[in-house]
Amino acid sequence: MIGGGIAGVQAALDLANSGFLVHLVEGTTSIGGKMSQLDKTFPTNDCSACILSPKLVECGRHFNINLLTLSDLIALEGEPGSFKAVVRQRPRYIDPEKCIACGLCAEKCPKKVSNVFNEGIGERKAAYLSYPQAVPLKYALDPDHCIGINKPGRCGVCAKVCPAGAINFDDTAKEHVLEVGSVVLALGFSPYDPSSLDFTGYGRLPNVVTAMEFERLLSPSGPCMGHMERPSDGREPKRIAWLQCVGSRDINRVGHPYCSSICCMFALKQAVIAKEHAHGEFEPSIFYMDMRTHGKGFENYYNRAKDNGVHFHRARVHSVIPAADPGNLQLRYVDEQGQVNFGEFDMVVLSTGLQVGKQTLAMAEMLGLELDADNFIKTDSFNPVATSRPGIYVCGAASEPKDIPQSVMEASAAAAEAGQIMAPARWSETSKKVYPAEMNIHAQAPRIGVFVCHCGINISSVVDVEAVAAHAKNLDGVVFSQCNLFTCSQDTINQMVSIIKEQGLNRVVVASCSPRTHEPLFQETLRDAGLNKFLFEMANIRDQDSWVHQLEPEKATAKAKDLVAMAVARVRGEGALPYNTVPVTKSALVIGGGVSGMTAALSMAEQNYPVTLIEQSECLGGNGRKVYRNWKGDKFLPFINELTARVTTHPQISVKLNTEISDVTGSVGKFITTFSDGHSFEHGVAVMAVGGQAYQPEGQWQFLHGINPHVQTLLELDQRFIDEDATLGEVKQAVFIHCVGSRIPERPYCSRVCCTHAIDSAVRLKELNPDMDVFMLYRDVRTYGQRERLYQEARAKGILFIRYDLDHLPQVSEKDGQLVIHAHDPIIDANVIIHPDMLVLATAVQPRQQTGVLSKFFKCAVDSQGFLLEAHMKLRPVDFATEGVFLAGLCHYPKPMEEAIAQAKAAAARASIILAYDAVPAESVTAVVTPAKCTGCGLCVAVCAYNAVSLDENGVSTVNTSMCKGCGACVAGCRSDAVTLKNIGNEQIMAAVDAAFM
Amino acid sequence: MLYATLEGLKRFNIPHNFNVVSIITYYAQWIREGRLKVDSSWNTEGLKFTVQDPCKLVRQGFGDPVAEDLRFVIKQVCGEENFIDVWPNKSNNYCCGGGGGALQAGFTDNRRQHGKMKFEQLHATGADVVITPCHNCHGQIKDLAEFYGGKWQTTHLWNWIVKALVR
């Protein structure tokens, strides 16, 4: 796995969790990539670090992920299944085994360096941690700037202050030769550098910043701690302009003909978030060519931004120059009426596009990979994650500009492809930890051990740790207490295991840093010592005590004593909990026989899992059979026919046509699905690929469709292309209307595919008859990513684009059978009358009506439009909140075939993770009902998000442990105090409260 | 002539064994080397200077490097603090509106209408002197100042080098 951004991390986790050893090679000191630099993410406005961190921590701690930071792949030879990869690891100069991330080296380091993580805004030291949540949480010395490295014998302050002796100025580069079955590239992108675009003033005017720089200015971990300040004078900006397409869609100055796909949403998000950051009045303005909000939830976001006072100007700004008021900026632009306008702003943000990084080019050359015309790594329409070299896969922005959900989907898809190659070797390279038998503590009196951590001087310089340990010794149930310099160091961990055994401890409290990072480590230590891991509590005396009360050591010590007493009180009443598991039936059900369903089925079958594929109609292929070709000119039918043949002849796939679902019971690991023919099927996982359907034009969007024979939809035109209808070449004038049924109040989403589809169809008509006049009536042209080339080609072929808006809908009428179209061209501000002999409607993509019914069978959610709703729009794009069920294709959101294929493979990868195990873990901290107290009101049933609670035949609440996630909603909801969470019950909480106030 | 030579060599692929260099580049080089000694101490009144970047010299010719040299020389001659740059500037500066024969070919109203933007840009600097290292720009900007009421003096670069020469 090359690259430790979000795509690389996702692919590594998917592969490691499905039974493969993964070497994750990252060039910098820590994983996280671009996503770790973001403040918030669209369209959910989640904190980027908050949703990313758990994945990074999981990656860093994973037993089967070998994290190689500061490393580069320098050579690769061999074949798919048996490559030999040479990885060069540069020296870190700080031993990660010893570093405890106390930060003293950075604090005392005398050498200040531009802060790369903050995009060069502000400074960091030559001894540094790139960002607070970095994984691995280990410091490094910057060899370009460190005095001690460059002038041996000089400086060396860090070595003197490091309490762990981790500094090693003599560290050297290492070479690792790795035997791998497959290589996945997640090389990411580098933002376009706008320095050469002098009209933007970037680099000369301090208040002109790039989108990434602005993101750091907004971020709480950024240079101004999340207070929005402009660089020139630290004033809070009141008017900010975002300039779109800087470095994208520009063949004149930049040489990037493609659209960067994400910047419209990026700017919208920044405008909305900046407004939240601002105190008092704030005016965000976005200068754009087309707003491209083509993803799930994006159009709604755009509409909300408009309603919330974000100003939109359809203009490409001519120049940014200093205004009379110091620091302010004057923008000169021409509006749609052709008038020159000036606008004054406090700050300008350049929505810089995405481009291929230098390292990607070098890597592609070294590996002999083909690149496309824009230097992105070339992929195939029908195999969107495969590179030109077998066994090497690519995911994320290295193959085309794309957003995070799409990158995450591709990451899982690449994992599926790599997993297919390596399937015979599953579990052969991985190691699995074996724990000693667990001691039964049931009838034992509590024997609690307390370990108080110095954390170097992080805690002990403020808190009197010896006094805390002495205090702990006198607490009820405590039989042992001691202080450790570093409780998490490997030697202390080993010591802890022997102390637990020697002292016969049956409960443990660690008073140290934070359970956020260290609880799993200590819980594992308990298991190593033969204790149930739930007999553990942590007292946070660093993050929440010594770090925040540095000036009041006495009070901090008193607080530490209270925190330890509370933890002891809690752990005293805790019991061993079962490590719940659910056995896995190793087979999959795929619902829907379109391209997505077939792809998912084939991917799982290739990994040797039996799959049943059901399709409600009498043939496989779905919507794909109705489409002529994609924007790259690849025809669909030959591909679909081949795919169908592979699916129907695959020994692991059983296809059931004309079949629907009549009932589903069970949950992850074991579902039992009954089909319409009465048969039932037991399966461990399910993939929903139930497709979508074309909107049938009606009302004001009907445009004489079904009345005048010359009016047809895109799919109807595609059928004529497929049938090679010779009369198409005789058409003299054709008109396309975009957004028929999309982006309107009833359907407030963009159908994503139709701009590209319509323009490609128009180009096809021009191919058939170059003299044909073709008009496109559009709202915003959304040929995102490299599809932009098609738009350029269309204009070069003379196809005319006329914009309309909802206040000026095209009017379609007929006179003696002849179509007459009235439209308004806003550029020439004139009415246009066209008499075409063909009108084509680019109709919306809708979810199928059955989607809602099907979703209920598997307890999956649907969104307000009836599309299936994934577990998380950003980072879990193919999972449902319901475990064991996955989704792919049009039922999720309109998407072109290459994206549907990637998503289907991703769904297969995610499903394979479950199928790789004989049993899957289930939550241990679950809710339990005291039947005697239950009044049967059913409130717990109503509030449970996981359908885990139900009323039994006696009207008493019961919890299905395998579905319970331990969220506690039912506990809070119960009016009779009948539901509690194991180990987090009233008795533990009240005991802790008592201890605090004793 | 400089641009015509440059473009001609390029367009017709004429073999040659010489470099085409602007005199401005040499001024800057000589000042840096100390061969051309200039001193801004004459500017006791604090006359403010601004500059025009001729299209053929900068935007279509040598680009930002020659524009930087131009500014370096002016600052040496008039004093760093007395130079006020225009915006946009260097390779992105506005055309004066007098080139391409416009200055000589009649259509005076159109030419002045084109030049209005240049006038307003220069006027906004408040400078007393506009340096125009191009004969065409000089003619146009001088005319614009007279026509629209600009109070600046339009001059070439060398006049001020002469003024600042250390004798």
User: Mind telling me how many Å the CA of A199 is from chain B's nearest CA?
Assistant: 6
Work out the pLDDT band at A492, boundaries 50, 70, 90.
confident
Q: Which residues of A touch B (CB under 8 A)?
A: 198-199, 201, 319, 321-322
- What's the pLDDT at A301? 96
The distance of B94 to chain A (nearest Cα, Å) reads 11
Say whether B88 and A322 touch across the interface (CB within 8 A): no
pLDDT (average), residues A571-587: 92
pLDDT grade for A945, boundaries at 50, 70 and 90? confident
Task: Find residue A22's DSSP bridge partners.
Answer: A65
The full DSSP string for A867-896 is: -EE-SBTTTBTTB-SSTTEEE-GGGTS---
pLDDT at A910: 97
Nearest-10 crossing angle of helices A490-503, A515-528? 50
Instruction: Name beta bridge partners: A347.
Output: A240
Contacts of B90 in chain A (CB under 8 A): 198
Assess contact for A65 and A323: CB atoms under 8 A. Answer: no
pLDDT per residue over A622-643, tens digit each? 999 999 999 999 999 999 999 9
Judged by average pLDDT, the poorest of A458-472, A478-492, B118-132 is A478-492
* Percent of chain A with pLDDT strictly greater than 90: 84
Structural domain includes residue A212: yes
Measure B41 CA to nearest chain A CA, in Å: 29
Which residue type is seen at A649?
T
Q: What per-residue confidence (pLDDT) applies to A60?
A: 86
- The per-residue pLDDT for A89 is 97
Q: Does the residue A437 lie in any domain?
A: no
Contacts of A201 in chain B (CB under 8 A): 87-88
A698: pLDDT confidence band, cut at 50, 70 and 90? very high
How much of chain A exceeds pLDDT 70, in percent? 100
Residues A333 and A241 in one domain: yes
Average pLDDT over residues A386-414: 97
List Cβ neighbours of A74 (8 Å cut-off, separation of 6 or more): A86, A87, A88, A366
Closest chain B residue to A201 measured between Cα atoms? B88
Q: Does A991 map to a domain?
A: no
- Nearest CA-CA distance, residue A396 and chain B, Å: 36
Contact A321 B87 (CB under 8 A): yes
Single pTM value for the model? 0.87
Residues A165 and A185 in one domain: no
Contacts of A199 in chain B (CB under 8 A): 88, 92
CA pair distance A661, A656, nearest whole angstrom? 11
Q: Are B96 and B103 in contact (CB under 8 A)?
A: no
In a domain, residue A838? The reply is yes
Taking CA–CA distances from B121, the nearest residue in chain A reads A321
pLDDT tens per residue across span A112-139: 999 999 999 999 999 999 988 888 989 9
Confidence (pLDDT) at A215: 95
List pLDDT tens digits, range A764-777: 999 999 999 999 99
Average pLDDT over residues A859-880: 93
The residue in chain A having the minimum alpha-carbon distance to the alpha carbon of residue B86 is A321
Residues A456 and A540 in one domain: yes
Chain A closest-CA separation from residue B89 CA (Å): 9
Judge: A198–B91 Cβ closer than 8 Å, yes or no.
yes
- One domain, residues A72 and A96: no
Query: Are B87 and A322 in contact (CB < 8 Å)?
Result: yes
Cβ–Cβ of B88/A199 closer than 8 Å?
yes
Which positions ≥6 away from A800 have C-beta within 8 Å? Answer: A773, A774, A775, A776
DSSP per residue over A93-151, as a string? Answer: SB-TTT-----HHHHH---EEE-TTTTTSSEEESEE-SSTT-BS---EE-TTT-HHHHS
Q: Kindly identify which residue of chain B lies nearest to residue A320, measuring between CA atoms.
A: B88
Question: What integer pLDDT is reported at residue A493 of this predicted model?
Answer: 82
The answer to whether residues A705 and A824 belong to one domain is yes
As a whole number, mean pLDDT of residues A400-406 equals: 96
Q: In what order do the strands lie in the sheet with A319-322?
A: A319-322, A329-334, A340-345
| Chain A contact set for B92 (CB, 8 A) | 198-199, 319
Angle between helix A788-796 and helix A754-768 axes, rounded to 10 deg:
30
Chain A residues with CB-CB distance to B88 below 8 A: 198-199, 201, 319, 321
Backbone angles phi, psi at B36, to 5 degrees: -110, 110
Closest residue of B to A332, CA-based?
B88
Contact across the interface for B92 and A322, Cβ inside 8 Å: no
Pairing of strands A711-713, A838-843: parallel
pLDDT in tens, A729-745: 999 999 999 999 999 99
Alpha-carbon distance of A895 to A384, in angstroms, equals: 13
Strand ranges (E), A346-473: 347-352, 354-355, 392-394, 448-453
Measured in angstroms, the CA of A201 and the nearest CA of chain B are apart by 8
A240-267 pLDDT per residue, tens: 999 999 999 999 889 999 999 999 999 9
User: A198: nearest CA in chain B?
Assistant: B92
SS3 A732: coil
Mean pLDDT value of segment A779-795: 97
Say which residues have a Cβ less than 8 Å from residue A561's Cβ, sequence separation at least 6. Answer: A467, A468, A471, A472
Interface ipTM: 0.76
Instruction: Report how many Cβ contacts below 8 Å link chain A to chain B.
Output: 15
Q: Which of B88, B90, B91 sits opposite A319 (nearest CB)?
A: B88
B-interface mutation test, from A195, A207, A318, A321, most B Cβ less than 10 A away? A321
Beta strands in chain B, from DSSP E residues, in sequence order: 49-51, 129-131, 153-155
pLDDT band at A792 (very low <50, low <70, confident <90, very high): very high
Which of A198, A319, A321 lies at the smallest CB-CB distance from B90? A198
| Chosen from A204, A325, A330, A342 to mutate, greatest number of chain B CBs within 10 A | A204
Last residue of a domain, one of A796, A815, A846: A846
Amino acid letter at B43?
Answer: N
Question: Residues of B at the A interface (Cβ-Cβ below 8 Å)?
Answer: 64, 87-88, 90-92
What pLDDT does A494 receive?
82
Contact flag A319-B91 (C-beta cutoff 8 Å): no
Q: Which residues contact B18 (CB under 8 A, 6 or more apart)?
A: none
Say yes or no to pLDDT of B10 above 90: no
User: What confidence tier does B167 reach under pLDDT thresholds 50, 70, 90?
Assistant: confident
Q: Give the pLDDT of residue A794.
A: 97
B3 to each of A693, A708, B9, how far by Cα in Å?
62, 62, 10
Are A266 and A348 within one domain? yes
Residues A913 and A939 in one domain: no
CA distance A338 to chain B (A): 17
Question: Among residues A846, A877, A909, which one ends one of the domains?
Answer: A846
Neighboring chain B residues of A321 at a CB cutoff of 8 Å: 87-88
pLDDT tens track for A175-190: 999 999 999 999 999 9
One domain for residues A731 and A624:
no
Residue A263 lies in a domain: yes
Residue A417 clears pLDDT 80, i.e. is over it: yes
What pLDDT, on a 0 to 100 scale, did the predictor assign at position A47?
Answer: 84
Question: Is A424 in a helix, a strand, or coil?
Answer: helix
The pLDDT value given to residue A580: 87
List chain A residues with CB under 8 Å of B87. Answer: 201, 319, 321-322
* Nearest chain A Cα distance for residue B70, angstroms: 18
Return all residues near A103 (Cβ < 8 A) that are at least 6 apart. Answer: A129, A139
Domain that holds residue B24: 2-164
Contact A509, A537 (CB under 8 A): yes
Q: Can you give the pLDDT at residue A51? A: 85
- Closest residue to A321, CB basis, from B64, B88, B90: B88
Judged by phi (left if over 0) then psi (alpha if -120 to 50, else beta), residue A592 lies in: left
How many other β-carbons are positioned within 10 Å of the β-carbon of residue B149? 9
Task: Give the pLDDT confidence score for residue A892 in this predicted structure.
Answer: 97
Average pLDDT, chain A: 94
Q: Say if residue A392 is in the same domain as residue A469.
A: no
Domain assignment present for A851: no
Residue A121 neighbours by CB under 8 Å, 6+ apart: A115, A213, A216, A217, A222, A223, A231
Hey, what are A256's tokens?
């990037």
Nearest Cα of chain A lies from the Cα of B90 at a distance, in angstroms, of 9
Nearest to A743 by CA among A862, A626, A832, A865: A865
Q: What is the pLDDT of residues A530-560, one digit of tens each?
A: 999 999 999 999 989 998 898 899 999 999 9
pLDDT tens string A816-837: 999 999 999 998 889 999 999 9
Tokens of A882: 């319901």
What average pLDDT does the segment A340-361 reach? 95
What pLDDT shows up at residue A898? 96
Task: Tell me if A460 sits within 8 A of A454, measured CB to CB.
Answer: yes
Of the listed ranges A186-190, A220-224, A231-235, A861-865, the one predicted with least confidence: A220-224
Nearest residue of B to residue A340, measured between CA atoms: B117
CATH number of A663's domain = 3.50.50.60
Q: Do B87 and A198 touch (CB under 8 A)?
A: no
Same domain for A332 and A419, yes or no, is: no
Domain count, chain B: 1
Peptide bond into A894 cis (omega under 30): no
Helix%, strand%, coil% for chain A, nearest 5: 30, 25, 45
Per-residue confidence (pLDDT) for residue A514, from 0 to 100: 84
Which chain B residues touch A322 with a CB distance below 8 Å? Answer: 87
- Is A993 among the domain residues? no
Rounded distance between C-alpha atoms, residue A329 and residue A311, angstroms:
17
Out of A515, A549, A572, pick the residue that ends a domain.
Answer: A572
Q: What's the number of domains chain A is made of? A: 7
Domain coverage including residue A377? 1-90+173-189+357-432
B90, A322: Cβ pair inside 8 Å? no
Question: For the residues A145-150, what does the mean pLDDT come to?
Answer: 94
Q: Which of B92, B93, B95 to mutate to test the interface with A (most CBs of A within 10 A)?
A: B92
The answer, yes or no, to whether residue A487 has pLDDT greater than 90, is no
Whether residue A632 is found in the same domain as residue A737: no
User: Residue A321 above 80 pLDDT?
Assistant: yes
* pLDDT value of position A896: 97
Among chain B residues, CA nearest to A321 = B87
- Of residues A50 and A957, more confidently modeled: A957
Q: Indicate if the pLDDT at residue A300 is higher than 90.
A: yes
Task: Look at residue A222 in the predicted model and tell me its pLDDT.
Answer: 87
The predicted pLDDT at position A917 comes to 94
* Per-residue pLDDT, A961: 86
A544 in any annotated domain = yes
Mutate to test the interface with A, among B84, B87, B116, B118 (most CBs of A within 10 A): B87
The CA–CA distances, whole Å, from A537 to A508, A558, A737 equal 7, 19, 64
